[in-house]
Amino acid sequence: MAVKKSDILVSFPVSVGSYKDMLQDIIDRSLAGAPASVCIANVHMMVTAYHDHQFATVVKTADVVTPDGLPLTWAMRLLLGIRQERVAGMDLLPDIIRIAATSGIPVFFYGATDDILHTTCRYLNTHYPGLAIAGIYSPPFRPLSLDEESEVANLINKSGARLVFVVLGCPKQEKWMGSMKDKINAVMVGVGGALPVMVGIQKRAPRWMQKSGLEWFYRLCQEPKRLFKRYAITNLLFIYLVTKEFIRVKIMRQNTAFQ
């Protein structure tokens, strides 16, 4: 049974359910051969969607939107009254691959560099020898033409892949999935930075930082030049947007109580 979505949380609705339910939903869709897109949502995605309505539409039309970061689960509880378990991409990716390996589900990797994809293949062949890798493709660092998009769609469809892991980073990977949803006969999952962590190129934050909602800070320490502006701006904006929405909801509830 497909997981349900919440009301809009600042920018878009988020899927509601246990980690196990969302994992099973993705696997069930892939076994059924149903085209679908899965967005793994964090603070950066939510703030980006708030400013980019076209991008927000892409996320809203995704079949599954998992709450990747703890701040999103906190916001769901504060604004929507939903106690939601975190469904992090760094946990989801290896679990999907583990099940795919034992269930005979062919997978395809789209995005990242050739070096990362080859490292991924070596890692998977060692740790998941039963996994069927239908193909890999590292696209050029520019927008694809319509003809190129058709060629990529044909390549993936002919490969027989039922799961496509998209490694382009937010918001590029979500936009790509949105544009290819009617062209690719598989479940597309935007995994972004989860792939380099899984294969050992980057390290994941210690467990205590994960549980404290500080995983972003660990990533910032790893790549300060690239991520400082992103986290400094998006985190503050997220706090502002959640606070603003909380005040709006509180006033609305008070007005309803007095009526």
Crossing angle (nearest 10°) for helices 43-51 and 224-258: 70
Question: What's the half-sphere exposure (Cβ side, CA atoms, 13 Å) at 81?
Answer: 2
pLDDT (0 to 100) of residue 213: 79
pLDDT (0 to 100) of residue 206: 81
The model scores a pTM over 0.85:
yes
DSSP 253: H
pLDDT (0 to 100) of residue 259: 60
CA nearest neighbour of 145 among 187, 171, 179: 179
67 forms bridges with which residues in the sheet?
Answer: 41
What is the full per-residue pLDDT of the chain (259 aa) written as tens digits?
A: 578 999 999 999 999 999 999 999 999 999 998 899 999 999 999 999 999 999 999 999 999 999 998 999 999 999 999 999 999 999 999 999 999 999 999 999 999 999 999 999 999 999 999 999 999 999 988 888 889 999 999 999 999 999 999 999 999 999 999 999 899 999 999 998 899 999 998 887 788 887 777 787 777 787 787 777 777 788 899 999 999 999 987 887 777 666 6
Q: How far apart are CA 177 and CA 190, in angstroms?
A: 8
Phi, psi values for residue 88, rounded to 5°: -85, 140
